[in-house]
Amino acid sequence: MTENDFLPNVYQEFPLSGKVTWRAPSNIALVKYWGKKPVQIPANPSISFTLDTCATTTSVTFTKKEGNADFSFDLLFEGKPKEEFKPKILTFFERIVSYLPFLKAYHFDIDTSNSFPHSSGIASSASGMAALSLCLMDIEKQLDPTMDRTTFNRKASYLARLGSGSACRSIHGSLVEWGIHENIPQSSDLYGTEYPFAIDSVFKTYQDTILLVHKGEKQVSSTVGHQLMKGHPYAENRFQQAVQNLDSLKPILASGDLEGFIQLVESEALTLHAMMMTSMPYFILMKPDTLEIINKIWKYRQESKVPVCFTLDAGANVHMLYPENVKENVQRFIDDELAMHCENGQYIHDRVGKGAVKIND
Ligand code: DP6
């Protein structure tokens, strides 16, 4: 498919007003997206677990307005007007208006909230952009009722990507791949697709506990972070490594090879941080507590043989990934030894989820 395939059909109807609500989950990458080309084309393919508890719920109320010259919208975040978010939405609307020309025909009241605590340092752009894109697609479906489900989901992912790259992996469950990979059928740089190969049942109920080491603003925004890969001395090798890691993951996922999974996932996380430490300018996004936690996880795993591992996004928080059948042991370990390294002792238990859902008001 090409970008032109996402241009709309002629709209059949123009309802005067309406309201739609969607809940979209966050996701955690196993093979990381880090580096991109204009516009929002990933430098390498990536794959993520879709989460369940960490999610954004967005309602969009639309009212037909006079004239088609400008965008018109108001934004509530957690029930309060949020002017700071408006420029990001405006940029998003400008980027997607050729694919959704009705955007200038309506006034929109966008009401959005997250299930996770505000400023917990968890990226909300993935779930936020996915939920908003699904709401907009739902409106487009009312204008073009002939649209089928595959087109709906694919275009929702396509639009979400234009808002934030990783958001395109937050439409479907439970494992989503994004980025062209010659050995992955249907893979695309334009949108995320459900992982097409066998997945052992152990991964279908995998757990993710997010240890909130540092809840403040990210030290490096992902937009700046991706740019650090331009002219980076190790960039080409890193992009190749991500391609290879997706190949290596195939038998691991199919057979439930937890040792292989742990090695690949932890190496990906540390490589992401290594890229940031070796870029110009350079950054260390881990905190001392991040390292304490990693060392304790390694020691615990060695001593207990419990197959728990960590991954990181572009910040100090630690995602602990583990099978459901060791949940009680791991949660005891977290309370006894890891919660002390979290800001205010806070962490969030999450698990692999099934993707975004429409909420009927
Ligand atoms: C480290 O999707 O937040 O979480 O496209 O600039 O919005 P933009 O970046 P974003 O980058 C996510 C980077 C990551 C790895 C990943 O999720 O694959």
Per residue of the chain (361 residues), what is the pLDDT tens digit?
A: 899 999 998 898 889 999 999 999 999 999 999 999 999 999 999 999 999 999 999 999 999 999 989 999 999 999 999 999 899 999 999 999 999 999 999 999 999 999 987 666 676 799 999 999 999 999 999 999 999 999 999 999 999 999 999 999 999 999 999 999 999 999 999 999 999 999 999 999 999 999 999 887 778 888 899 999 999 999 999 999 999 999 999 999 999 999 999 999 999 999 999 999 999 999 999 999 999 999 999 999 999 999 999 999 999 999 999 999 999 999 999 999 999 999 999 999 999 999 999 999 7
Residues present in the chain in total: 361
Tell the residue nearest (CA) to atom 14 of ligand 1. 313
Query: Ligand 1 centroid vs 110 CA: distance in angstroms?
Result: 23
User: What are 347's strand-pairing partners?
Assistant: 211
List ligand 1's pocket residues with C-beta within 6 A: 29, 32-34, 40, 46, 123, 125, 164-166, 222-223, 226, 272, 313-314
Q: Looking at ligand 1, which residue's alpha carbon is closest to its atom 3?
A: 222
Taking the centre of ligand 1 as the mean of its atom positions, its distance from the CA of residue 226, in whole angstroms, is: 8
DSSP annotation string for 73-123 = EEEEETTEE-GGGHHHHHHHHHHHTTT-GGGGTEEEEEEEEESSPTTSS--
122, 51 contact by CB (below 8 A): no
Condensed to tens digits (0 to 9), the pLDDT of residues 223-258 reads 899 999 999 999 999 999 999 999 999 999 999 999
Residues 253-277: pLDDT tens digits? Answer: 999 999 999 999 999 999 999 999 9
Q: For the CA atoms of 117, 123, 129, 130, what is the dihedral angle to 10 degrees?
A: -90
What global pTM score does this model have?
Answer: 0.97
Side-chain-side CA neighbours of residue 322 (13 Å): 25
CA of 223 to the centre of ligand 1 (A): 8
Mean pLDDT rounded to a whole number for the chain: 96
Alpha carbon of 26 to ligand 1 centroid (Å): 11
Q: Which atom of ligand 1 is nearest to the CA of 167?
A: 2
How far, in Å, CA of 221 to CA of 82, rounded?
A: 19
Atom of ligand 1 nearest to the CA of 40: 5
- In 3D, which of 347, 321, 334, 301 has the Cα closest to residue 28? 321
Nearest to 348 by CA among 164, 248, 207: 207
Measure 42 CA to ligand 1 centroid, in angstroms: 10
